[in-house]
Structure 1
Amino acid sequence: MAGGNLKNMVIAFLVPLPSILFYLAFVRPHDDHSTVAANPVSSWCAAHPLLLANALFLLNVDVLFWLIGHLLSNNWLIDLYWTVIPVMLLHYFRAHPASVANAVRSAAVVALTWVWSARLTHNYFRREGWQWGKQEDWRFSEMRGQYGKTWWWMSFFAVYLSQQVFLIGICLPMYAIHSSDQPLGIWDLVATVVCIAGVVIAYFADTQLHEFVTRNEKLKQLGEPTVPTLEDGLWGYSRHPNYFGEQLWWWGVYLFAWNLGQRWMFIGALVNSMCLGYVTVLVERRMLKQEHRAEAYRLYQKRTSVLIPWFRKSLPEPKEKET
């Protein structure tokens, strides 16, 4: 167990090196700008920051992560790097030779993104028992069983290429922020408040969920009945407050791009929200398949808002049968 954990930790630290080394060698501005101009690769990289980001993602994440996942029979890497890739993309856009940005806006988004990443990374390791690559996402495990022998190539599209669409899409506002030095405005403040609210809500929702799962595990060990559904704290107002907080964060990031006139970039947050909406359906179906909590969860569905926190519904008392 310890050997596997160490091996996965080493893999996690080594996998981004191809992109980092390439970036340092060809993209970052050099003292001798004439050398950069004379090098066709460097010239193309300097002129096409968004295309280069997609090319590096395709080669370093889609292809390399897929190969590693195939060799390990476990696609855990992409789940961990969901918490890291936005930070890497942000710093890539910020330090790229073509970057133009308002210094205060850029610094604010960097700070916010690091806080978001730290929260999500902490939650990932807490959920995994502080182990590296303990297990892959349950959705990937189910698809592995569904696709059988074809999973080895289907996983490239279902697990990795699809993640490129989502991650590059939701990080487009970070590109917009580093493509304009427009002065700060009121919408930058609104975007900052929305981002902070999203992180705070997601943190408390995930912490409450972790405490609920931990309590139930202790009850199992004692041979006592477990609590079927979490209905305390934020979970009493929304069935998926952690998802709501995460979506609030990404729509807050989009507001920065909206303020800079890049309003079409809502497409990234929208696609991500639609995907998470589908995941919500899968999660609830999974809950209803568990006999010990199905009845309680159906009642929970009737009383509690699915996503946006709201007051609980009062259900009529069941009528007593006449004797």
Structure 2
Amino acid sequence: MSSLEDCADFSKVVEPFLPQLYELPSNAVSTLRNGGSLVSLYANTNPLVSGFAFSIFLGGIFWVASEANRNYSQVDRFWSLLPTFYIAHFAAWTHLNDLPSQRVDLVLFWSVIWSARLTFNYWRKGGYEIGSEDYRWEIIRGYCHPVVFFIFNATFISFIQSILLFLLAAPTYVILVASKIEPNVGTADLLFAGTELALILSEWFSDQQQWDYQTAKKTYQKTAKVPRGCGFTQEDLNRGFITSGLWAYCRHPNFTAEQTIWLVIYQWSCYASNVPYSWAASGPFFLIMLFQGSTWLTELITSGKYPEYRAYKKQVGGLLPSLRPYKPVVAMPRIIRTSDLAKREKAKQK
């Protein structure tokens, strides 16, 4: 690489290594048969190639497991772990090859925090978290012919989503390559990392607010009493969905933060390689497309369950926050005119 711009050039940092992808399975088998070192094979294989190959391998495992168990959320269970796993893979590869790793290690630092927060929420909520499409897959399955859904699972649910989780980490590869020219962590790198941590904090706040509301609502539904100190009124809990805190300004503040997190790492790679855009955008932008479909289906279900949700949608932005908080719809008392009262009196006399 002769310039930072070269570090984001697909024809220079990706295309020349594609033959390794085709050769990797046979090389791995040959290494095992001959008693060679898999570590050496790993170190001598381009990390983008080996990471992509592993995501395809995982896709096959997810597909087999989902068909065997009839549970199509296999990828969702690893959603909070795999992007960080791939970033750790890039970091390990740089250390193994004695390459500058400070900037990649910084990416790994915030990513570990992201995974820890998401994993904690996943288990706390019984398996539900961002990316968990369990009930949505069942709804889609109900509308599809079994053969169509089988193909959908074999392509999108299992393989494409697995590859997506790798592509989310792919901007780290650009930062890795650019570190060979600019190895030091600069002020901009710290600002990017700080922005990521702020977004993770925002996501934590929004998820915690949702958790508090749902916990209070479940208690209220069981006891018919508003839990003390929950911070919600009876009207709030009867509404069925949260409209306070960050949710008063945005219908999906956690989704907004999640998508922005991966857009920021992509922009970080653009800064590191001194380009306005690059092929590394594929992961973050595909994630946005996935969230669009998921959000649409979620809101369709929610609108059917809670009458006031349509008014909430009109006042509050879906992913972009509104400037004004949500004002709950108040049922206005019916105004009875004097003439109406007179008519009712006459009807009673008759």
Whether 1:92 aligns to 2:98 is no
1:175-186 correspondence runs (5 A):
175-181=173-179, 182=182, 183-186=184-187
Q: Which amino acid aligns with 1:94?
A: A
Q: Secondary structure at the match of 2:75?
A: helix
Structure-1 separation of matches of 2:98 and 2:212: 44
Deviations 1:245-288 (A, max 9, x none): 11121122112211121631223212212221222221111111
Query: 2:73–2:134: 8 Å Cα contact kept in structure 1?
Result: yes
Query: 1:241–1:307: 8 Å Cα contact kept in structure 2?
Result: yes
Once the two structures are overlaid, the 10-residue window that deviates more, 207-216 or 182-191, is 182-191
Q: Secondary structure at the match of 1:226?
A: helix
Question: Structure 1 residues 78, 170: closer, same or farther in 2, change over 3 A?
Answer: same
Structure-2 separation of matches of 1:169 and 1:103: 20
Residue of structure 2 aligned with 1:104, choices 102, 105, 119: 102
1:1-323 correspondence runs (5 A):
46-59=44-57, 61-96=58-93, 102-128=100-126, 137-150=134-147, 151-181=149-179, 182=182, 183-223=184-224, 226-261=238-273, 263-264=277-278, 265-290=280-305, 293-294=306-307, 296-312=308-324, 323=337
**Aligned counterpart, 1:12:** none
Q: Secondary structure at the match of 1:178?
A: helix
Structure-2 separation of matches of 1:313 and 1:231: 9
Q: Which amino acid aligns with 1:47?
A: T
**Identity among equivalent pairs (%):** 24
Question: Structure 1 residues 227, 313: closer, same or farther in 2, change over 3 A?
Answer: closer
After superposition, the CA RMSD in angstroms is 3.2
Cα offset for 1:129? 6.9
Q: Which amino acid aligns with 2:292?
A: G
Aligned length: 282
Which protein, 1 or 2, shows the higher relative CO under an 8 Å CA cutoff with sep ≥ 6? Answer: 2
**Aligned counterpart, 2:231:** none
Structure-1 separation of matches of 2:97 and 2:196: 23
Structure-2 separation of matches of 1:49 and 1:278: 31
In the superposition, the TM-score normalised over structure 2's length comes to: 0.71
Structure-2 separation of matches of 1:250 and 1:314: 28
Higher gyration radius (CA): 2
Q: Which amino acid aligns with 2:156?
A: A
Query: 1:173–1:253: 8 Å Cα contact kept in structure 2?
Result: yes
Structure-1 separation of matches of 2:272 and 2:242: 41
Give the gaps of 5 or more residues in structure 1: 1-21, 27-34
Once the two structures are overlaid, the 10-residue window that deviates more, 163-172 or 237-246, is 163-172
Cα offset for 1:319? 12
Q: Secondary structure at the match of 1:305?
A: coil
Structure-2 separation of matches of 1:312 and 1:226: 23
Cα offset for 1:190? 2.7
Query: 1:188–1:255: 8 Å Cα contact kept in structure 2?
Result: no
Query: 1:197–1:248: 8 Å Cα contact kept in structure 2?
Result: no
Query: 2:75–2:162: 8 Å Cα contact kept in structure 1?
Result: no
Q: Secondary structure at the match of 1:238?
A: coil
Q: Which amino acid aligns with 1:172?
A: A
In the superposition, the TM-score normalised over structure 1's length comes to: 0.77
